Amino acid sequence: QVQLVESGGGLVQPGGSLRLSCAASGFTLDYYAIGWFRQAPGKERGGVSCISSSEGSTYYDDSVKGRLTISRDSSKNTVYLQMNSLKPEDTGVYYCAALLGLCVPDRNEYDYWGQGTQVTVSS
């Protein structure tokens, strides 16, 4: 059974850090691009970061560049999103999604989705 499970969300103060995990089962993440998407209350789900399969090219939305880092641990079949210097506007439900091959910006192209993990940045 193909499954993606996110974890690591929580409540953090502005300036704090979190590390989100996206663990896969039923397929090998190495062959897939893994994207992280954020859905804030009342807004559409938008792309935050992505790591492509094979060469592992990474992409970041302008709003998170320099603060978020995406990485892959093949031995654990898991992708991580390290989030530093968090801001209140980073608040939302974070989803990971898988697409065979290379990253694309259109969320409708992704084949598998996790259930999401809540990130709240507030003092």
pLDDT in tens, 57-67: 999 999 999 99
Mean pLDDT of the chain: 95
pLDDT tier at 38 (50, 70, 90 boundaries)?
A: very high
Residue 56: the pLDDT is 80
Q: Is the pLDDT of residue 45 over 90?
A: yes
Q: Is the pLDDT of residue 54 over 80?
A: no
Residue 55: the pLDDT is 74
State the average pLDDT over residues 88-114: 96
pLDDT tier at 115 (50, 70, 90 boundaries)?
A: very high
Beta bridge partners of 7: 21
**What's 112's DSSP letter?**
E
Q: Could you tell me which of 17, 14, 9, 1 has the C-alpha nearest to residue 96?
A: 9
Residue 1: the pLDDT is 86
Q: Is the pLDDT of residue 18 over 90?
A: yes
Give 97's contacts (C-beta < 8 A, 6+ positions apart).
4, 34, 35, 37, 107, 110, 111, 112, 113, 114
Q: How far apart are CA 4 and CA 12, in angstroms?
A: 24
